[in-house]
Amino acid sequence: MKPKNYFSVFAKMPLEAKIFTLQRALNCHPDEAKEIIEKLENELKYQETLLSLVQRKAHITEQETTLIDKIKRIRLSDRRRSREGKQEKLIRLRYFHEIERLHKEGIGWRKIAEYIRIYHHKKISHVTIRNAYLKIKKQMEQQQEQ
């Protein structure tokens, strides 16, 4: 079975459904969710416009050229990135901040795995939790640098 592309599912949703989804995912006010959607749409339109200008060999500034190169690099690196497993995705979407809090309190990976098993009824090995946590943390740091 082919994996589902949830971004295309999200893109096809009506505006009210997008707002509801972002509101639940980010725990924010509906107005804030609508503003985020508008910003995302504007940024995507801008990036597509820049890329189409390159294809048409239109006159573009040096600043736009560097931005286009950065966009291309990011899009290519996303394609090459290994696929995320179910447990890693679950950790990223649901448990990351809780794991981060527990880890900062000095609790070990085995205890964190047991905590998730007891309080969330999910059995995830301590190695998987540790690797996913470190990978997600590294990705977040790289995004902040950019």
Read off the pLDDT of residues 21-70 as tens digits, 9 standing for 90 and up.
888 888 888 889 889 888 888 888 888 877 777 666 667 777 777 887 78
**Per-residue pLDDT for 15 more than 70?**
yes
Taking the C-alpha atoms of residue 53 and residue 58, their distance in angstroms, rounded to an integer, is: 5
Residue 77: its pLDDT value, please?
A: 62
Are the C-beta atoms of 126 and 94 separated by less than 8 Å? no
**Domain check: are 90 and 127 in the same one?**
yes
| The pair of three-digit structure tokens given for residue 32, joined into one six-digit string | 């804030």
The model's confidence at residue 80, banded by pLDDT at 50, 70 and 90, is low
Three-class SS state of 60: coil
Residue 110: domain span: 86-145
CB count within 10 Å of CB 61 equals 8
**Per-residue pLDDT for 109 more than 80?**
yes
The model's confidence at residue 3, banded by pLDDT at 50, 70 and 90, is low
**Domain check: are 21 and 62 in the same one?**
yes
**Domain check: are 39 and 68 in the same one?**
yes
Number of structural domains the chain divides into = 2
Q: Is residue 1 part of a domain?
A: no
**Domain check: are 90 and 42 in the same one?**
no
Q: Please report how the helices 15-26 and 30-55 are oriented relative to each other, as an axis angle in degrees rounded to 10.
A: 110
Q: Is residue 30 part of a domain?
A: yes
**Domain check: are 40 and 60 in the same one?**
yes
Percent of the chain topping pLDDT 70:
86
Average pLDDT across the chain, whole number: 82
**Domain check: are 72 and 97 in the same one?**
no
| The pair of three-digit structure tokens given for residue 113, joined into one six-digit string | 């795995």
**Per-residue pLDDT for 121 more than 90?**
yes
